[in-house]
Amino acid sequence: MAAQHPVPGSQAGLIAGEIGEFPDASTRAVTSQGDGTRHIPTKRPFSFGRWFGATGWRHLVGVVMVVFSLFPIVFVVSSSLNPNGTLTGSNALFSKIGLDSYVRILSDPQVPFATWFANTLIIAGVTALGTVFLGALAAYSFSRMRFTGRRFGLVSIVVVQMFPQLLAVVAIFLLMSTIGDLFPAIGLNTHVGLIMVYLGGALGVNTYLMYGFFNTVPASIDEAAKIDGAGHARIFFTIILRLVAPILAVVALLSFIASVNEFVVASVLLIDTENQTLAVGLTKLVSNPRYADWSAFSAGAVMAALPVVALFLFLQKYIVGGLTAGAVK
Amino acid sequence: MQMSTTIGDDTRQDAPPERQTKRQRQASVIADAASGGMKVFLVKLVGLGIVDALAVYAIFVLIAHDQWIPTVIVAAVTALVNWIYFSRRKLPAKYLTPGVIFLVVFQVFVLLYTGYIAFTNYGTGHNGTKEQAVSSLMASSLERVEDSPTFPVSVVEQAGQLGLLVTDPESGDAFVGTNDQPLAEVDAEFDGDAAVAADGWTTLQFADVLARTDDVTALAVPYSDDPNDGAIRTPDGTSGYLYVSNLEYDEAAGTMTDLETGTVYADTGEGAFTAENGEQLLPGWQITVGFDNFVRAVTDPRLAQPLLYVTLWTFAFALISVASTFFLGLFLAIVFNDMRMRGRKAYRVLMILPYAIPSFLSALVWAGMMNQSFGFINQVLLGGASVPWLTDPFLAKISILIVNLWLGFPYMFLVCMGALQSIPDDIQEAAKVDGAKPWAIFRLIKLPLLLVSVAPLLIASFAFNFNNFNTIYMLTDGGPRDSNAPIPVGFTDILITMVYKVAFTGQTRDYGLASAYSIIIFIVVAVISIIAFRRTKSLEELN
């Protein structure tokens, strides 16, 4: 059933386009009266009360919520533009405008912001690619092949994902320091080590998400390709992966955001300041009581948030579907 | 719900046949073999070659360090991988193996290992084996032997490790050793009476010795296998002296004796040499302590009390967060789910911005805004008030809930919006025809249908918030700190932040206790998931 008719509320259903603007019954009644004949609505004089009762109060709620949503963002943008602000100095919004704080955070020798930024992009980017790849491989086999232990595999993936890696942070730290004693290149304080740990969570919710989506691609496509002489690898890489591109984008983005946000494991594994990610570096920076350059931190925060926000808004439509199915936050 | 249905359903839904016949299998193997050209084979060969080369390297390193069990595991896994990828069958395994390897090592193994650590005394002062503890105790109590001869030494290096090249002033023989390896005789080049270079070792020049003074003076090369013989140390990099420990280790009896006071420290099974009056020599070593950590966590009143309020707050935080974000999100979804309203898209984009920003940044910014003396909220919004948003035990909790509402409502808004729009219109129309009022339609039809699709997400959201480290840690750091507790815990800590702080912050790291707390979280999450998924199944049957 899931293959042909997307289930309401399931990932398939949402990605299939329910994100768009859907009319509901109350709105439809305005334009079509159900019996087929068209009534031309007579123009009534504008009444504030009627407007407010119908949609005006919704705008009121909207404005209140937008203010609530935006004011921290406005605050941080304003203080990032404040050339030499402490926390107090940042309170007068947009009193001064300049890019000095951006220059300061980028050039401060004590704060390797650009390095953190690059580290974050590399770690999160590689993790996202790896997660998509590993997850897609697994989802393909679960979706297209029947083998002993398949059901067990699916169930255990659901079970294991209940226990996030950060619960085992102590063990991860001890494991990685042991590995680091033997193989310094992939142990403690290395990016490769951190990426490997992150990839441990690659199968999990992501595979499940992809599995559901792979199931919506009709198997007859595979069969047609098989008849034409394509092997399983060719079917997977050249046909299936293209058809499921939206879910790959969603998983890549969710994984990217999750790694950018990840603090616990990164802070334990990455010891040297130059190796750290933005989450670790910026958090340690502001939690240092002697660090008083709030504007420079704000500038850093704005720059750190920009790529993620841009990606998020760009892929918004796909993410909503993915979120509903995956529940990441 | 989706999880259980899809697994249950897959036998009858999508197309692939249940079990292929033998002939079909053979046919598909032949087809696969025919389709995969040389290029595919080469890629496979190169990939496996790299994997094998790395594995062989790893095995050599592991053998060199006498790590036999890991050696066997690496060898077995490599063999398995080769077998899987060179076999013509094993198709599913080819696709599953890469992910499963990572999953097993970095998710399953570490969870099991956490379980093991919870039963040990691992932590500051109990980091290694008994032998390591003995040698580090002996090394830390070294004292120079009076009137000992002067040994000419050279500082040498091999594979990044510093060692001493020592010449015995009586016999004139040369010996070399490091912190870990006792002195052993070598062939050396002599300059006068002193050995200056040995095969396989690089002699450090005077400038290098100066540059690495700290490392050089920290060197203590054991004189022989018996730690009681003492060690050679050098204050300047050219002349060495014999140092002996003022502790004496009796291997047969397993005791340490302090030669100055005469106190005997015995191994009493507590993971450290303990005197009769209970005094311990640290570092000790790692032992399994059974349920000690768990017993300590719940019976030691100074630990039990924090555990109790932290657990209660964790539940309260997770429940209130889910409820508040869900109801706000649902309310907004209802409000904006009206075609007549203009600008809904703009509202939606602006409202999901909090969700798009990485949460660690948002929490840090909120922490700045809620600062008691300088923050935006007190200074501007409240006109110079001094509300202790983050420093009062109760208000800090409220602040956390507000910030988490800000972080989480857009998600629930999006989810509820999707779920509302996927409810078929005809159901509502039918209800309307039957004369149902809007509120009744919502309460009796829309809400139950919505809950069916949203309930699993609410459970997932609960599980997420139960371990929502970032919000707590970045906003309050768990503070205000509880000064009565012997561990660094505060009034807004949740279990996972407590685990982190016990393990990685403060003067003493207690991995054992932290892992025991982890296991408690583990059990709680497991129980909740089981109950919750049972319950959603029953919810689903309502549909």
Question: Residue A14 pLDDT > 50, yes or no?
Answer: no
Of B499 and B130, which is predicted with more confidence?
B499
Question: Residue B450 pLDDT > 90, yes or no?
Answer: no
Question: Residue B183 pLDDT > 80, yes or no?
Answer: yes
Range among A1-15, B158-172, B246-260 with highest mean pLDDT value: B158-172
Of A24 and B345, which is predicted with more confidence?
B345
Residue A162 lies in a domain: yes
Residues of chain B with C-beta less than 8 angstroms from the C-beta of A141: 91-92, 94-96
Residue B472 lies in a domain: yes
- Residue B421 CA to residue A13 CA, distance in Å, equals 11
pLDDT at B35: 56
Residue B124 lies in a domain: no
- Residue B539 CA to residue B543 CA, distance in Å, equals 7
What percent of chain B is modeled with pLDDT above 70?
Answer: 92
Lowest mean pLDDT, pick from B24-28, B91-95, B310-314 = B24-28
- Residue B268 CA to residue A186 CA, distance in Å, equals 38
CA A73 from centroid of its chain's CA atoms: 19
Terminal-to-terminal C-alpha distance of chain A: 29
Residue A310 lies in a domain: no
Q: Which residues contact B299 (CB under 8 A, 6 or more apart)?
A: none
Residues of chain B with C-beta less than 8 angstroms from the C-beta of A229: 31, 34-35
Across the range B327-348, mean pLDDT stands at 87
Beta bridge pairs of residue A282: none
A10·B453 Cβ contact <8 A: yes
Lowest mean pLDDT, pick from A44-48, A57-61, B93-97, B172-176 = A44-48
Q: Give residue for tokens 């249908």.
A: B449
| B358 and B276 both lie in a single domain | no
Alpha helix (H) residue ranges in A228-244: 232-234, 241-243
Residues of chain A with C-beta less than 8 angstroms from the C-beta of B521: 167
Helix (H, G, I), strand (E, B) or coil at B322: helix
- Residue B428 CA to residue B433 CA, distance in Å, equals 9
Closest residue in A to B366 (Cα–Cα): A72
pLDDT at B394: 93
Lowest mean pLDDT, pick from A11-20, B269-278, B439-448, B534-543 = A11-20
Nearest CA distance, A15 vs chain B (angstrom): 10
Indicate the pLDDT class of residue A256, thresholds 50, 70 and 90.
very high
- Nearest by CB to residue A231, choosing from B31, B366, B464, is B31
- Nearest by CB to residue A2, choosing from B6, B19, B438, is B6
Question: Residue B135 pLDDT > 80, yes or no?
Answer: no
Residue B12 lies in a domain: no
Residues of chain B with C-beta less than 8 angstroms from the C-beta of A267: 504
Q: Give the other-Cβ count within 10 Å of B206's Cβ.
A: 10
- Residue A252 CA to residue A209 CA, distance in Å, equals 12
Of B2 and A269, which is predicted with more confidence?
A269
Indicate the pLDDT class of residue B363, thresholds 50, 70 and 90.
very high
- Residue B207 CA to residue B203 CA, distance in Å, equals 12
Are B265 and B249 a contacting pair, CB within 8 Å?
Answer: no
Nearest CA distance, B241 vs chain A (angstrom): 31
Indicate the pLDDT class of residue B395, thresholds 50, 70 and 90.
very high
B9·A2 Cβ contact <8 A: yes
Question: Residue A303 pLDDT > 50, yes or no?
Answer: yes
Question: Residue A243 pLDDT > 70, yes or no?
Answer: yes
Distances A285 to A113, A292, B70, B369 between C-alpha atoms, Å = 10, 10, 39, 16
Indicate the pLDDT class of residue B48, thresholds 50, 70 and 90.
very high
Distances A151 to A211, A240, B10, B283, B530 between C-alpha atoms, Å = 13, 22, 9, 49, 18
| B253 and B315 both lie in a single domain | no
Question: Residue A27 pLDDT > 70, yes or no?
Answer: no
| B269 and B315 both lie in a single domain | no
Indicate the pLDDT class of residue B28, thresholds 50, 70 and 90.
low
- Nearest by CB to residue A70, choosing from B96, B350, B364, is B350
Closest residue in B to A146 (Cα–Cα): B18
pLDDT at A13: 34
- Residue B490 CA to residue B483 CA, distance in Å, equals 8
Nearest CA distance, B377 vs chain A (angstrom): 9
pLDDT at B380: 85
Compute and round to an integer the Cα radius of gyration of chain A.
Answer: 25
Residues of chain B with C-beta less than 8 angstroms from the C-beta of A328: 464
Across the range B520-532, mean pLDDT stands at 84
Longest dimension (CA), chain A: 83
pLDDT at B496: 93
Nearest CA distance, A197 vs chain B (angstrom): 6
Containing structural domain, residue B173: 139-281
CATH number reported for the structural domain that contains residue B338 in this entry: 1.10.3720.10
B353·A69 Cβ contact <8 A: yes
| B348 and B495 both lie in a single domain | yes
Stretch (H or E) spanning B518: helix B511-542
Residue A255 lies in a domain: yes
- Residue A31 CA to residue A29 CA, distance in Å, equals 6
Answer positive or negative: Cα dihedral of B98, B101, B102, B108. positive
Question: Residue B418 pLDDT > 60, yes or no?
Answer: yes
Q: Give the other-Cβ count within 10 Å of A106's Cβ.
A: 16
- Dump pLDDT digits (tens) for B71-118: 999 999 999 999 988 887 778 888 999 999 999 999 889 999 999 999
Residue B9 lies in a domain: no
- Dump pLDDT digits (tens) for B269-287: 777 777 777 777 777 788 8
Range among A53-62, A144-153, B9-18, B313-322 with highest mean pLDDT value: B313-322
Are B156 and B202 a contacting pair, CB within 8 Å?
Answer: yes
Q: Give the other-Cβ count within 10 Å of A196's Cβ.
A: 19
Across the range B1-28, mean pLDDT stands at 51
Of A213 and B138, which is predicted with more confidence?
A213
Closest residue in B to A29 (Cα–Cα): B429
Across the range A10-21, mean pLDDT stands at 35
Indicate the pLDDT class of residue B2, thresholds 50, 70 and 90.
very low
Are B48 and B81 a contacting pair, CB within 8 Å?
Answer: yes
Across the range B506-518, mean pLDDT stands at 88
pLDDT at B498: 92
B2·A261 Cβ contact <8 A: no
pLDDT at A91: 76
- Residue A188 CA to residue A275 CA, distance in Å, equals 11
pLDDT at A22: 40
Across the range B360-379, mean pLDDT stands at 90
A72·B470 Cβ contact <8 A: no
Write down the mean pLDDT value for chain A: 80
Q: Which of B17, B21, B40 is nearest to A230 (CA)?
A: B40
φ/ψ of B445, rounded to 5, equals: -120, -55
Exposure string for B117-147, b = 16+ CB within 10 A, e = fewer: bbbbbbbebbbeebeebbbebbbebbeeeee
Residue B133 lies in a domain: no
Are A323 and A10 a contacting pair, CB within 8 Å?
Answer: no
Lowest mean pLDDT, pick from A17-26, A29-38, B138-147 = A17-26
Residue B106 lies in a domain: yes
- Nearest by CB to residue A320, choosing from B117, B361, B414, is B414
Tokens of B147: 């009137």
Beta bridge pairs of residue B203: B156
Nearest CA distance, B59 vs chain A (angstrom): 11
pLDDT at A12: 34
| B504 and B538 both lie in a single domain | yes
Question: Residue A172 pLDDT > 90, yes or no?
Answer: yes
Nearest CA distance, B132 vs chain A (angstrom): 15
pLDDT at B19: 59
Tokens of B398: 């409220």
Exposure string for A24-59, b = 16+ CB within 10 A, e = fewer: bbbeeeeeeeeeeeeeeeeeeeeeeeeeeeebeebb
Residue B289 lies in a domain: no
| B81 and B156 both lie in a single domain | no
pLDDT at B18: 52
Q: Give the residue from A192, A324, A328 with the most B CB atoms within 10 Å of its CB, the best one to mutate.
A: A324
| B369 and B249 both lie in a single domain | no
Write down the mean pLDDT value for chain B: 83
Q: Which residues contact B360 (CB under 8 A, 6 or more apart)?
A: A261, A263, A279, A282, A283, B470, B474
Question: Residue A68 pLDDT > 60, yes or no?
Answer: yes
Across the range A90-102, mean pLDDT stands at 82
Residue A21 lies in a domain: no
Q: Which value, to the nearest 10 degrees, does the dihedral of the CA atoms of residues B77, B79, B82, B84 take?
A: -70
Indicate the pLDDT class of residue B13, thresholds 50, 70 and 90.
very low
Indicate the pLDDT class of residue A7, thresholds 50, 70 and 90.
very low
Residue A206 lies in a domain: yes
Q: Give the residue from A148, A151, A167, A216 with the most B CB atoms within 10 Å of its CB, the best one to mutate.
A: A167
- Residue B402 CA to residue B411 CA, distance in Å, equals 15
Compute and round to an integer the Cα radius of gyration of chain B.
Answer: 33
- Residue B509 CA to residue B86 CA, distance in Å, equals 47
Indicate the pLDDT class of residue B375, thresholds 50, 70 and 90.
confident
| B177 and B308 both lie in a single domain | no
Indicate the pLDDT class of residue B14, thresholds 50, 70 and 90.
very low
- Number of domains chain A is built from: 1
Distances B129 to A42, B133, B271, B288 between C-alpha atoms, Å = 89, 6, 9, 12
Q: Which of B525, B1, B118, B356 is nearest to A164 (CA)?
A: B525
pLDDT at B185: 83
pLDDT at B29: 65
A167·B424 Cβ contact <8 A: no
Tokens of B53: 């080369």
Closest residue in B to A24 (Cα–Cα): B425
| B324 and B467 both lie in a single domain | yes
A324·B408 Cβ contact <8 A: no
CATH number reported for the structural domain that contains residue A261 in this entry: 1.10.3720.10
Indicate the pLDDT class of residue A17, thresholds 50, 70 and 90.
very low
Range among B25-34, B142-151, B366-375 with highest mean pLDDT value: B366-375
CATH number reported for the structural domain that contains residue B168 in this entry: 2.40.430.10
Closest residue in A to B6 (Cα–Cα): A212
- Number of domains chain B is built from: 3
| B327 and B466 both lie in a single domain | yes
Across the range B318-322, mean pLDDT stands at 95
Across the range B252-269, mean pLDDT stands at 76
Task: Give the side-chain half-sphere CA count within 13 A for B136.
Answer: 16
Q: Which of A124, A30, A179, A325 is nearest to B6 (CA)?
A: A325
Residue A275 lies in a domain: yes
Residue A2's Cβ-count burial label (10 Å; 0-12, 13-18, 19+) is buried
Closest residue in B to A172 (Cα–Cα): B110
Of B139 and A306, which is predicted with more confidence?
A306
pLDDT at A24: 44
Question: Residue B197 pLDDT > 90, yes or no?
Answer: no
Helix (H, G, I), strand (E, B) or coil at B442: helix
Question: Residue A34 pLDDT > 50, yes or no?
Answer: no
Question: Residue B258 pLDDT > 80, yes or no?
Answer: no
Indicate the pLDDT class of residue B210, thresholds 50, 70 and 90.
confident
Containing structural domain, residue A171: 112-287
- Residue B474 CA to residue B364 CA, distance in Å, equals 6
Residue A259 lies in a domain: yes
Complex ipTM value: 0.82
Nearest CA distance, B382 vs chain A (angstrom): 12
Distances B339 to A175, B97, B199, B342, B428 between C-alpha atoms, Å = 55, 49, 85, 8, 16
| B255 and B365 both lie in a single domain | no
Answer positive or negative: Cα dihedral of A92, A94, A98, A102. positive
Residue A240 lies in a domain: yes
Residues of chain A with C-beta less than 8 angstroms from the C-beta of B367: 286
Question: Residue A47 pLDDT > 60, yes or no?
Answer: yes
